Amino acid sequence: MRNKSDIKRIAVMTSGGDSPGMNAAIRAVVRTSVYYELEVFGIYRGYAGLIEDDFIEMNARSVSKIINQGGTILKTSRSQEFRTVEGRKNAFDHLKKRNIDALVVIGGDGSFAGADKLHKEHGIPVIGIPGTIDNDLAGTDYTLGYDTATNTVIESIDKIRDTANSHNRLFFIEVMGRDAGFIALRTGLATGAFSILLPEEDISIDDLISLLKRNKATHKTSSIIVVAEGDANGGAYEVAKRIKEKYNYLETKVTVLGHVQRGGSPSAFDRVMASRMGVKAIEGLLAGYDQHMVGFVSDTIQYSKLSNAITGSHPINEELLRISKILSI
């Protein structure tokens, strides 16, 4: 397909925490570039690789058999140097040296903030693909990896439920989400958790104890409490400790699921969304969207300003929270 835009050469990178579906997005970006007769380069290790001139030329075959793989074949990093004006100047010089006309960044809000600065300081068109398991970006209903990560969490909690029931135990399970409770809310609802602690909602230790007393009165013999790592009470170990100090009801255990949530083969949902976003990222660049993010909104791919993804908020679905409370009695 002939490309009538000024953009002839693009580069793609993954940045920040990896998430399942990043490889499917790289594949879609590379193959769509080839389809539109663009030359395409991969940058290893995100902005760190850009600063260190770590590029690889890619073609349709470079991305064979990766649609099903977790992680990112381009690797990723969180670069401190790119936060500086000099770091971004070095990075831009390496793009310029290779005559790269536009950059595709697959990552979260921190990565997009970097891309936005690069665009403002050096004029290079940039487009973002939202990739983070946290789902905490404005301008998209879902980010790449969130669906897979929540399926991984659900599988783990289901297993913990078996042993919790067998021993009549109270389990506090900490899931990822530094600033947002999307993973906790979805997985808590899907696993029938008795309570879900999120950064977006204040539940005090005393509130939780009242709920536990209600549990005891209705003869619940085991319970799961899902705690988002960013919850204001301070993580699963802290919540468990503070509850135990005041109310010793069931034997208590804590599980922190950690980085297991970030790995694994992407779900069907993430693979399809990544493929759609990758195609639209390149088509958007060719159509002049030079400082935007592609987002998945009501089953369509839409463009929004990068600045919206960086500073805007993605509220949790209060209805899910309400439902989870009704069903946890």
Restricting to residues 219-258, name those near ligand F6P by CB under 6 A.
229
Any catalytic annotation for residue 134?
Answer: yes
> Contact 134/182 with Cβ under 8 angstroms?
yes
Nearest Cα neighbor of 76 from 100, 102, 101, 42 is 42
HSE-up of residue 202 (Cα within 13 Å, Cβ side): 2
Decide: is 134 part of the binding site for ligand F6P (CB under 6 A): yes
Closest CB to ligand F6P belongs to which residue?
176
Q: Which residues pair with 10 in a beta bridge?
A: 40, 102
Question: Tokens 């080839």 sit at which residue?
Answer: 34
Number of residues that bind ligand F6P (CB under 6 A): 10
Nearest Cα neighbor of 149 from 196, 185, 200, 193 is 185
In the complex with ligand F6P, the residue whose CB is nearer, 116 or 229, is 229
Kindly tell me the burial class for residue 81, based on how many C-beta atoms sit within 10 Å of its own C-beta (0-12, 13-18, 19 or more).
Answer: middle
Site string for ligand F6P, 19-48 (x = CB under 6 A): ------------------------------
Decide: is 132 part of the binding site for ligand F6P (CB under 6 A): yes
Decide: is 79 part of the binding site for ligand F6P (CB under 6 A): no
Which listed range, 33-41, 69-77, 174-182, 219-227, lies at the site for ligand F6P (CB under 6 A)? 174-182
Minimum gap (Å) between residue 294 Cβ and ligand F6P = 19
Decide: is 200 part of the binding site for ligand F6P (CB under 6 A): no
**Regarding beta strands 291-297 and 300-305, do their DSSP bridges make them parallel or antiparallel, or are they unpaired?**
antiparallel
Which residues bind to ligand F6P, rule: CB under 6 A?
17, 108, 132-134, 176-178, 229, 262
Active site residues: 134
